[in-house]
Chains A and B, each alone.
Chain A
Amino acid sequence: MAVDNDEVRSIIVKYLKSGNPLFARLDEIPLDESLLELGYIDSFGVIDLVAFLEGNFNIQILDDEINKEKFGSINKMVALVVSKS
């Protein structure tokens, strides 16, 4: 199933907002910054997000892809999901 960037971004943001009151209150969503470094999610939250993306988009994300380079911001997550869909 092919998906586009906007659709994936919207689904990720909706997921983060639904489970994270801090994130839900944000006026501006940080798309290019590390959510870990900003303190919106911790490592457990990152792995939860991996599981969500795998289930939602029927893809597999490898453990060695869970890093700053490929998973370090919402836009990087979007690119990873789109490349696998």
Chain B
Amino acid sequence: MPLDLLVSKLVDCTNRKFVIHSDLTIFGRALPRYKGYAINVFRQKLNAELLAIPTFNLHTNHAKVIDFSILDASMGALPLEALSVLNHANSIRLPNPIHSYTFFPSVRGLEKIDCSKSFGEKSVFDYFYENNFLWVEFGTFSGDGLTLFHHLECVASVPYRKKIYFDRTFLYDGQVKTVAYEYYARTDNSYAQNFSAALEYLIDKGVVTSVAYNERQILYGSVKEISLAILAKLRCDPYFLVKKV
């Protein structure tokens, strides 16, 4: 099965901190046997010291109170599994109004992540970099889930985006809070995201490994190495992650 394949590829890898974006249909008809157990299966098979699953709030607005006990179903099966076991495991869902990750287990240091922003210094993506996480795209298509690239656009201060601020209100730990949320928004609509070219570059360079499985792929690479490679490209060409439309 695809998870065993990934495990076999990582046998010599000492890094056991993972951030996993996924499309679990890669399991095919074997998938139903993991319902209710998927998080534990990933943790155990990968021998994960720390596992981060994206449990983003993609449909927010200033008038809506975000409830962190609920997840938009469009996030997919593994995030829904993460939320369903959140209260039964030593875990934490970061109170970030948009880019909220759920961590298994909850560890010291997570409280230092700035949850009032999506990208840049002290954001969760910065935490992945500083703590040397391995980024895994498990069955997703052409790097659909490579949100890390947006963080790198922010670090590189690309010319087609700028920092904006808006209010988001959320319910967390029984309290309603409002934050002025920092987001790095696109300002120039004549450019569209073009992550597939960057992904090909990373694979060619050996920074990201691509493993084929049933006409699908599993991609993985060190957040640190991916970041350094993409930032070097962005220094030469600030438009490396976009294409003209």
Residues of A within 8 A of B (CB): 22, 36-40, 42-44, 46-48, 50-51, 63-64, 66-68, 71
A68 and B78 CA atoms in complex are apart in Å by 18
Find chain B residues with CB under 8 A from A68 CB: 141
In the complex, the answer to whether B28 meets A43 with C-beta atoms within 8 Å is no
Q: How far is the CB of B36 from chain A (nearest CB, A)?
A: 10
Chain A interface helix/strand/loop/mixed: helix
Tell me if B50 counts as interface (CB < 8 A to partner A): no
In the complex, the answer to whether A43 meets B74 with C-beta atoms within 8 Å is no
Supplied contacts A22-B73, A44-B24, 5 more A-B pairs, CB within 8 Å: A42-B73, A43-B78, A44-B32, A47-B25, A63-B214
Q: How far is the CB of B210 from chain A (nearest CB, A)?
A: 16
Residues of B within 8 A of A (CB): 23-25, 27-29, 31-32, 35, 72-78, 80, 141, 214-216
The one of B32, B73, B215 that contacts A47, using a Cβ cutoff of 8 Å: B32
A46 and B25 CA atoms in complex are apart in Å by 7
Knowing A36-B23, A63-B28, A63-B29, the reply to whether A42 touches B76 (Cβ < 8 A) is yes
Find chain B residues with CB under 8 A from A50 CB: 29
Chain B interface helix/strand/loop/mixed: helix
Knowing A64-B215, A68-B141, the reply to whether A39 touches B74 (Cβ < 8 A) is yes
Question: What would 25 A/B residue contacts be, using CB atoms closer than 8 Å?
Answer: A36-B25, A36-B74, A36-B76, A37-B74, A39-B74, A39-B75, A42-B76, A42-B77, A42-B80, A43-B25, A43-B27, A43-B76, A43-B77, A43-B78, A44-B35, A47-B25, A47-B27, A63-B28, A64-B28, A64-B215, A64-B216, A66-B25, A66-B28, A67-B25, A67-B215
Find chain A residues with CB under 8 A from B28 CB: 47, 63-64, 66
Please give me the 9 A-B residue pairs with the lowest Cβ-Cβ distance, nearest first.
A39-B74, A63-B28, A43-B24, A43-B77, A39-B73, A64-B214, A64-B215, A42-B77, A43-B25
Q: How far is the CB of A18 from chain B (nearest CB, A)?
A: 18
In the complex, the answer to whether A39 meets B72 with C-beta atoms within 8 Å is yes
A39 and B80 CA atoms in complex are apart in Å by 11
Residue with the highest number of chain B CB atoms closer than 10 Å, among A63, A67, A68: A63
